[in-house]
Amino acid sequence: MNLLLAQCDPKAPLLDADSRERVLATLPGWTPDPEHKLIARRFGFDNFYQVMAFVNAVAEIAHAQDHHPEMLVGYDACTVSYTTHSRGGVTLNDAICAAQVSALPEASGA
């Protein structure tokens, strides 16, 4: 499956441990939390303007996919994390959005 072209499914099930590991292997920089309830990546930038351009681009993906991340925004970095609250952990939807965020032109300087 090409995660860059995929669409989120509101009924996506939790990824089992093997599937989660296979998916994470295709998402450089994204790591699970210790309980495997979310995946996250820190993106670094030169200035706040670049951070905000990135945040706005992530918001476009969130709107298009109807799947919204948590973001911790600072002067020169933004940490993006995904989980599927309705499933209590990581689903394919999280991987789809993570792949699309990583592919953003705004993320290239990160």
pLDDT of residue 109: 60
Number of domains in the chain: 1
In-domain check, residue 97: yes
Q: Domain of 90?
A: 17-109
pLDDT recorded at residue 110: 54
In a domain, 1, yes or no: no
Specify if 23 maps to a domain. yes
Question: Is the pLDDT at 6 greater than 90, yes or no?
Answer: yes
Is 73 a domain residue?
Answer: yes
Going edge to edge, which strands form the sheet with 39-44?
Answer: 31-32, 39-44, 77-82, 70-73
Contacts of 110 (CB under 8 A, 6+ apart): 43, 44, 45, 54
9 domain-assigned: no
pLDDT beyond 80 at 108: no
Note whether residue 10 is domain-resident: no
CATH number at residue 92: 3.30.1360.20
Q: Which residues pair with 71 in a beta bridge?
A: 80
Per-residue pLDDT tens digits for 17-76 = 999 999 999 999 999 999 989 999 999 999 999 999 999 999 999 999 999 999 999 999
Query: What is the mean predicted confidence (pLDDT) over 102-108?
Result: 87
The Cα–Cα gap between 18 and 10 comes to 21
At residue 73, the pLDDT reads 98
